[in-house]
Structure 1
Amino acid sequence: MTATNILFLDIPTALPVPFSPNTWKVRLALNYKKLTYVTKWVETTSIASVCKSLGIPPTSTLPDGTPKYTLPALIDNTASPSALLSDSTPIIEYLERTYPDPDSSRALCAPASRALHALFEYHVAHSITAQLLPVMVMHMHDKKTPQDRIHFRKRIEAAFGKKLEDLELRGKEREAYWKKIEDAFDLLATFMQAGGTAGELFTGSNLSLADCILGGLLLTFRYTSPDEAWIKISAWNDGKWIRYMSALEEWTTVV
């Protein structure tokens, strides 16, 4: 392992593992690059206060103009002055610049590929992530820590004007949403097959930013909804996503 002094901020859950797709995205990159890091676990209710206290910048601005703080975040004390970063893609781009692999074929996101990766992330966000709340809201709620369940319920119910239980679709409506998600995975599988690379990942056997994005999302499915989402996904595309997750397994260590 490369000796570094990296602090990685992630969100604890009621499980032995995290399940945020965005924090998993960075954790996969850290593990792939074999960087030594320590995780600081920060509940959702404490993200803003902890980030402010550490000098980590906000990721965006709320409608009323106040800064919005989210995780993942990262502090690299190897740099002088220390690098303080937030938001998953900028963190990964920083790691790529600061800790490049001697073998350029192992690059997570070469500069020339960043526009394509941005397009891929947009596609996943709109065709998959945007469809999840009506079928995953209670799964996500139930796997959070007790304190974060309260915060999650208040935030989502305020945004939608409904109780969480009423946001959750049932019956044919639920299956229609799952069909939209399945169609999105069908398209991904078709494109990956067209690439003709050896191996299950987007670029064969090496990790890419696209794999961090999709892998983080699949880990969320596997951990938050093993009895519904992961069962469905495991059956799609002739077991493609089981093989895909097996290819990611070596980079899923939680420290």
Structure 2
Amino acid sequence: MAVTKIIFLDIPTVLSVPTSPNTWKVRLTLNYKELTYGTKWVETTDIESVCKSLGIPPTSVLTDGTPKYTLPALIDNTFTPPAFLSDSTPIIEYLERTYPDPDSSRALCPPASRALHALFEYHVAHSITAQLLPVMVMHMYDKKTPRDQVHFRERTEAALGKKLEDIELKGKEREEHWKKIEGAFDLLETVMRTRSGAGELFTGPNLSLADCTLGGLLLALRYDSPDEAWMKVSSWSDRKWIRYMAALSKWTAVE
């Protein structure tokens, strides 16, 4: 039996699929590049201890100097010495350098586009992702494993100083918040309409780093909250995001 050289660390849920937008971002890349890899499932509660034991570097450093470990992470044993990576964009940049496609038009992030991709990621992070917790917190909580529910509740309530149930917006405030998020999605759809060429994705038929970022977020919304978030998003922008997800579907397999 062939040895799997690439190990991808992802976060399990009570579903048969992950719901982290950042780990989806890397999984889309691995599938798009048709790389053979295995998934190591690591509950959020265990991320720090597992990463330390495997030699995976921290993603960042907290204000008190404590290393912060997050997923996704990746170990590539194809070469000597092996590569140990963390954080989605550095992992994708590594995969681009190490496993380039012979067809340059299929590049996820050509050097000339990196500044634009950085601007795009900033928009998604601040205008969409950062706005989701007040309308998604209980959906996110419900899909976590029992151990991770305890960890998520403790961490989130300590950070915000209130119970999860009190973080969640209700009634009119909730609808107004969703409208704000809808406006951010409408801006993306407007920008995408200005490009030339066929295809629903940002660069047409091929995947880009922007698609990995947005696609990962949409997959998280669809699986975490199919009855609210995804129902809303799929109705926006003349149902653009349904077509977008259909185009993305060929790279969403979870082994």
CA deviations 1:30-52 (Å, max 9, x no partner) are: 00000000000000010000000
TM-score relative to the length of structure 1: 0.98
User: How much has 1:18 moved relative to structure 2?
Assistant: 0.1
Q: Partner of 2:39 in structure 1?
A: 39
Could you tell me how far apart the structure 1 residues matched to 2:130 and 2:48 are? 24
Residues in 2 aligned to 1:4 and 1:224: alpha-carbon distance in whole angstroms: 30
Partner of 1:234: 234
**Cα-to-partner distance string for 1:157-183 (whole Å, 9 max, x where unaligned):** 000000000000001100111001100
1:45-94 per-position Cα deviation (integer Å, ceiling 9, x unaligned):
10000000000000001122110000000000002100000000000000
Q: Is the 8 A contact 2:142 2:149 kept in 1?
A: yes
Kept in 2, the 8 Å contact 1:20–1:216? The answer is: yes
Offset of 1:197 from its aligned partner? 2.5
Instruction: Note the 1:80-229 alignment, pairs <5 A.
Output: 80-229=80-229
Q: Is the 8 A contact 1:4 1:35 kept in 2?
A: no
1:127-171 Cα distance to aligned partner (Å, 9 max, x none)? 000110000000000000000000000000000000000000001
Query: In structure 1, the residue corresponding to 2:36 is in which secondary structure?
Result: strand
Q: CA deviation at 1:4?
A: 6.2
SS at match of 2:40: strand
Residue type at the aligned position of 1:29: T
The CA RMSD measured in Å over matched residues stands at 0.9
Q: Percent identity?
A: 79
Task: Report the counterpart of residue 249 of structure 2 in structure 1.
Answer: 249
8 Å contact from structure 2 (residues 4, 38) kept in 1: no
Report the alpha carbon displacement of residue 115 of structure 1 after superposing the two structures with TM: 1.2
Amino acid at match of 2:83: A
Length, aligned pairs only: 253
Partner of 1:14: 14
Give me the whole-angstrom Cα distance separating, in 2, the residues matched to 1:46 and 1:202.
35
Q: How many Å separate the matches in 1 of 2:217 and 2:79?
A: 30
TM-score scaled to structure 2, two decimals? 0.98
Q: Secondary structure at the match of 1:9?
A: strand
Confirm or deny: 8 A CA contact 1:10 1:42 kept in the other structure: yes
Q: Secondary structure at the match of 1:199?
A: coil
Residues 7 and 76 of structure 1 are in contact (CA less than 8 Å); yes or no, is this contact kept in structure 2?
yes
Structure 1: 5+ residue stretches without partners: none
Map of 1:24 onto structure 2: 24
Query: Where in structure 1 do 4 or more consecutive aligned residues deviate above 6 Å?
Result: none
Deviations 1:176-205 (A, max 9, x none): 110011000100000000112310000000
| Contact 1:76–1:83 (8 Å) recurs in 2 | yes
Indicate conservation of the 8 Å contact 2:233/2:241, yes or no.
Answer: yes
Asked if the contact 2:186/2:237 (under 8 Å) is kept, the reply is yes
Which whole-Å CA distance do the structure 1 matches of 2:218 and 2:42 have between them? 22
What residue is the counterpart of 1:54 in the other structure?
A: 54
- Deviation track 1:85-138 (CA, whole Å, cap 9, x = no partner) reads 000000000000000000000000111111111111001000000110000000
In 2, the alpha carbon distance for the partners of 1:164 and 1:102 equals 48
Partner of 2:66: 66
> Quick check: 1:137–1:168 contact (8 Å CA) kept in 2?
yes
Q: Which amino acid aligns with 2:199?
A: G
